[in-house]
A and B are shown apart, each in its own frame.
Chain A
Amino acid sequence: MDNLIALLIAAPLLGAAVLLCGGRRLDGIGHWLGTLLAGASFVLGAVLFVDMLDRSAGHRTVTKHLFSWVPVEGFQADVGFQLDQLSMTFVLLITGVGTLIHIYSIGYMEHDENRRRFFGYLNLFLAAMLLLVLADNYLLLYVGWEGVGLASYLLIGFWQHKPSAATAAKKAFLVNRVGDMGLSIAIMVMFTTFGSFTFPAVLGGADGASSGRNTAIGLMLLLAACGKSAQVPLQSWLGDAMEGPTPVSALIHAATMVTAGVYLITRSGAVFNAVPDVQTVVVIVGGVTLLFGAIVGCAKDDIKKALAGSTMSQIGYMILATGLGPIGYAFAIMHLVTHGFFKAGLFLGAGSVMHGMNDEVDMRKYGGLRKYMPVTFVTFGLGYLAIIGFPGLSGFFSKDKIIEAAFAKGGTEGWILGAVTLLGAAITAYYMTRVMILTFFGEERWKHAKTPSPDQPSVEPAAETHGAHDEPHPHESPKSMTIPMIVLAFGSVFAGGIFGIGDRFVKWLEPITSFSHGDSPVGQWTVTAATIVCLLVGVGLAIAQYGRGPVPVVAPRGSLLTRAARRDLLQDDFNHVVLVRGGEHLTRSLVYLDHSLVDGVVNGTAASVGGLSGRLRKLQNGFARSYAVSMFGGAVVIIAATLLMRAV
């Protein structure tokens, strides 16, 4: 049975290799092959899941040693896999949602001549992510980690003929490199501390290691998580990553990539539990990102960017929960899974809307689409209800638990975190309602938009066949796109209930992450009631602002905060001023130092030696008598010295 683990990764990897090396002759079947292999991976995952359920909770972990990777004296690196409850959860999410996105892409990318290459990249993405979650040591995890970075680069820049997409891909890659550096440093520190980087050695030894080492490892792992999971301060790539095709956004935001950071922190829980200070930093990062993403999401008119802000915010919830320690790990992963469902559904819905609207992304040019796209409307709507935490749907169970856990942290900290998470819930409700109203309700603003606005010239290749660009003709998407959306909508509705009722999910993960209840100063039902009140306030505000009366097609100037939020709360400006300018100044001063000091020493030595020898050359004047003088003088000096020595 444990041989299947390797096959789980091999299937999409094979797909990637065949599709990327096979060339144009596979154009006809490439998308089917890619989807088939992703599906095969899901089936294997399901088989392993059933097999795992057969065993008792304590014996569910399966390990599989594949081969020795670097068999060197004193440095043992193996390729081995570890499938436990945590990995299993990720495997099912990655392959399940991944397969649905593959199916969706068949329709979405139908008119793209590079569809085969696209599917190759998608398979590569799945393979890298599976490697990341299945590795049994940090070094192999790092391979998957880098693979995810590479695949995201290739996919975000898939339409590389658009300069904006190429730039966005580069940006994502570069920002991720900062995080990757953190992970590599963490692995090095692990090796010097524990002499190994397998999970049992590191996590088992974390309690015994010095707090300095644990702090270093924890902070570096957090940096890594910030990079992949788009947390402050490494969040800036996520918004630009929307340049990729919409299924890519769904894949990055729901099933892969951004979940990697949450996985890393949860997996390394023992290290974080050992140093409460680092946990506090994790909580702060999560809390700040939670509000940051939510505020950005409120101001964006681009439907995908609004959803991107929302992802950032929801991942902030998860990171915050992981920072709470054993109180929060299980809920972080639970929210991750439910978020995987509804965020994938929302992105695929957004893609479907764009598909029907000539790839227009500005929500101010939508409106009233519920009549034209009923399936998209219903599935998107269910995803919307799930993400705002409407009672009974997925998001309600998972987000409510995180808010409870935040209060259960105890003390002043608990109150602050609880307030932040509640505020986040209210803002989430506000911006998602805004997206919903602007897109599906209100008057049909696209009818007045005679010409595509000049700042949205990017007509994706898929739009070429839609004929007239003057006025969009909203229509429902093909079956290959709507079916995955329907499946995801089911997940958005029921997943939370299945996981949450009776604490099933917590019990499932408990052997891996451990669990403690904490002591909440407020009752469970009080928190739930407060959450629902926040939710209603958010929804009410959005309806008051956008639901009553016409929405201007051109965005009004807005307040200072709105304008800042439209510019992603000045994240790029900050990076530009502090990092780019700072870097330029640093390099310039280094160049100056190089020219003046280093070159100065070298050139100065050469010049002084040259000058000295020029002077010495003057002595060689060719006059025999002057040579005689020097010989005579030399003899006198030697004799004088000899006599002097004698005398002394």
Chain B
Amino acid sequence: MNPVNYLYLAALLFTIGAAGVLIRRNAIVVFMCVELMLNACNLAFVCFSRLHGNLDGQVIAFFTMVVAAAEVVVGLAIIVSLFRSRHSASVDDASLMKL
């Protein structure tokens, strides 16, 4: 199977994730979409690795997973404390940082 098709898939996943981040209000869903984008990147890296015939892309995919895991920890903690203080998981409710 042509590896380029995986790149199309990665692009599709990334687009879905980005659209979700921009459109959805629920923090959990936004979070999931961020994960989707990260994984789309991973897929692209692995695909490039296969295309170029070396392991660099796969190594970077591992790094991305580590970053994603750390992000999940911090991100979920923020969402939980946000929900505790405002009883809502909507990202639009947290709009205090404006003039």
Contact = CB atoms under 8 A, between A and B. Distances in A.
A632 B18 contact: yes
Contacts of B98: 620-622
A635 to B, nearest CB: 10
Interface stretch (B38-46, B57-65, B68-76, B88-96): B88-96
B1 interface: no
A624 B27 CA distance: 11
Interface in A624-644: 624-625, 628-629, 632
Contacts of A629: 22
A161 interface: no
B21 interface: yes
A628 B99 contact: no
Contacts, number: 27
A624 B21 CA distance: 10
A623 interface: yes
A617 interface: yes
A102 to B, nearest CB: 82
Contacts of A622: 95-98
A620 B25 CA distance: 18
Interface residues of B, number: 13
A625 B92 contact: yes
Contacts of B21: 625, 628
A612 to B, nearest CB: 15
B92 A623 contact: yes
Interface string B1-28: 0000000000000000010011101000
Contacts of B18: 632
Q: Report the contact-size class of chain A (Cβ under 8 Å from the partner).
A: 10 to 19
Contact of B22 (A617, A620, A621, A625): A625
A615 B95 CA distance: 19
A617 B99 CA distance: 8
A620 B99 contact: yes
A628 B22 contact: yes
A623 B94 CA distance: 7
A4 B99 CA distance: 85
B71 to A, nearest CB: 15
Interface string A462-489: 0000000000000000000000000000
Count chain B CB atoms within 10 A of each CB in A624, A628, A632 and give the residue with the most. A624
A624 B96 CA distance: 10
Nearest to B97: A622
Nearest to B21: A628
B1 to A, nearest CB: 27
A625 B18 CA distance: 11
B84 to A, nearest CB: 18
A622 to B, nearest CB: 3
B88 to A, nearest CB: 14
B99 A625 contact: no
A116 B74 CA distance: 98
A622 B93 CA distance: 9
A625 B30 CA distance: 10
A286 to B, nearest CB: 78
Nearest to A629: B22
Contacts of A623: 91-92, 95
Contacts of A628: 21-22
Nearest to A619: B98
A252 B70 CA distance: 102
A624 B94 contact: yes
Nearest to B92: A623
B81 to A, nearest CB: 15
A629 to B, nearest CB: 6
B91 A625 contact: yes
A332 B94 CA distance: 99
A629 B30 CA distance: 13
Contacts of B92: 623-625
A637 to B, nearest CB: 15
B7 to A, nearest CB: 15
Contacts of B99: 617, 620
A628 B22 CA distance: 7
Given A624-B92, A625-B91, 16 more contacts: A617-B99, A621-B98, A622-B95, A622-B96, A622-B97, A623-B95, A624-B91, A624-B95, A625-B22, A625-B23, A625-B25, A625-B92, A628-B21, A628-B22, A632-B18, A632-B22
19 contacts: A620-B98, A620-B99, A621-B98, A622-B95, A622-B97, A622-B98, A623-B91, A623-B92, A623-B95, A624-B92, A624-B95, A625-B21, A625-B22, A625-B23, A625-B25, A625-B91, A628-B21, A632-B18, A632-B22
Which 9 A-B pairs give the minimum distances between C-beta atoms? A622-B98, A622-B95, A624-B91, A620-B98, A623-B95, A622-B97, A620-B99, A621-B98, A629-B22
